[in-house]
């Protein structure tokens, strides 16, 4: 099974056939008793023989992924707030563009790294925060109500929570066909947005990134694809834990989830703004 989030595909720890990478790890795709730490099978908490082992030598746990994802998202939020309140008006445009380009560039670099560098993940989060902070402020001003940002954050948390709950409680099975469909759709969607961005530099875009009807359509498609990406990424993280992936791979998972959650937030924010309309 491959994730539509390319960063998870750069490590064999998240790939099919990773198998028994560590003594006591369950075969890939066969998680141990979920929610029962200390048992064989690589379930939540990791195999018992790793208790007390150095962090660099023990397998990844869900706690590792949660903690590192929380740290990464915290950096995004902090730099978004700083960009919103501290960037002077005459530097808003350059800072917005710089944040977007740096985040895009670092995202590509991290996606193709065999071993993710935590410092680069934090730098990516900071750049993404600058982009989101300025972009969110602009949308808040356009709507005439900055509280729309809080509404979008809440909508993102609820959507992500419901997606995870549905994945776990309805026991959603991620098949190879489903994964291929999401990957192809995501690549096509990103390709269209890239073309639209290039055309916008020449004043000839077709409104995919705008705040009109076409922008609403693309934002809705983007939000839907983000939900499907979350399902794939939840599945890949769960399998990585079951397979005994290295603890350092939690940074890869954190980066992947941050990318998807940021994408979900941005599209939900645009949807809410477009539906309410500008001043």
pTM, two decimal places: 0.80
Mind listing the pLDDT tens digit of every residue in the chain (279 residues)?
A: 444 455 555 555 555 444 333 333 333 333 333 333 333 333 333 333 334 445 556 899 999 999 999 999 999 999 999 999 999 988 999 999 899 989 989 998 998 888 899 999 999 999 999 999 999 999 999 999 999 999 999 999 999 999 999 999 988 889 999 999 998 999 999 899 989 988 988 888 888 988 999 999 999 999 999 999 999 999 989 999 999 999 989 999 999 999 999 999 999 999 999 999 865
- Residues 179, 8 contacting (CB under 8 angstroms): no
- Residue 135 token pair: 């972009």
Percent of the chain predicted with pLDDT > 90: 63
- In this predicted model, what pLDDT tens digit does every residue of 51-109 receive, in sequence order? 444 555 689 999 999 999 999 999 999 999 999 999 998 899 999 989 998 998 999 89
DSSP track, 211-262? SSHHHHHHHHHHHHHHHHHHHHHHHHHHHHHHTT-BTTHHHHHHHHHHHHHH
């Amino acid at each position: 099974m491959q994730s539509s989030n390319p960063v998870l595909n750069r490590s064999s720890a998240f790939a099919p056939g990773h198998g028994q990478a560590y003594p006591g790890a369950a075969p890939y795709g066969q998680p141990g008793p979920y929610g029962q730490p200390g048992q064989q099978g690589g379930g939540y908490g990791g195999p018992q023989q790793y208790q007390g082992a150095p962090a660099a030598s023990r397998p990844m746990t869900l706690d590792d992924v949660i903690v590192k994802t929380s740290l990464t998202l915290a950096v995004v939020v902090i730099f978004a707030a700083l960009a919103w309140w501290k960037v002077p008006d005459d530097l808003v445009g350059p800072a917005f563009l710089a944040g977007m380009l740096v985040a895009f560039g670092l995202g590509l670099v991290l996606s193709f790294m065999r071993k993710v560098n935590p410092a680069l993940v934090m730098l990516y989060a900071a750049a993404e925060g600058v982009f989101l902070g300025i972009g969110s402020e602009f949308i808040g001003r356009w709507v005439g109500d900055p509280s729309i940002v809080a509404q979008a954050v809440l909508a993102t948390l609820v959507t992500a929570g419901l997606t995870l709950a549905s994945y776990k409680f309805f026991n959603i099975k991620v098949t190879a066909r489903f994964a291929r469909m999401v990957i192809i759709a995501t690549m096509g969607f990103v390709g269209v947005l890239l073309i639209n961005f290039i055309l916008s530099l020449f004043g000839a875009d077709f409104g995919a990134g705008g705040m009109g009807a076409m922008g609403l359509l693309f934002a809705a498609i983007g939000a839907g694809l983000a939900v499907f990406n979350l399902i794939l990424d939840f599945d890949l993280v769960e399998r990585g834990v079951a397979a005994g992936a290295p603890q350092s791979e939690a940074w890869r998972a954190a980066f992947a989830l941050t990318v998807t959650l940021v994408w979900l937030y941005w599209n939900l924010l645009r949807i809410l703004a477009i539906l309410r309309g500008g001043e």
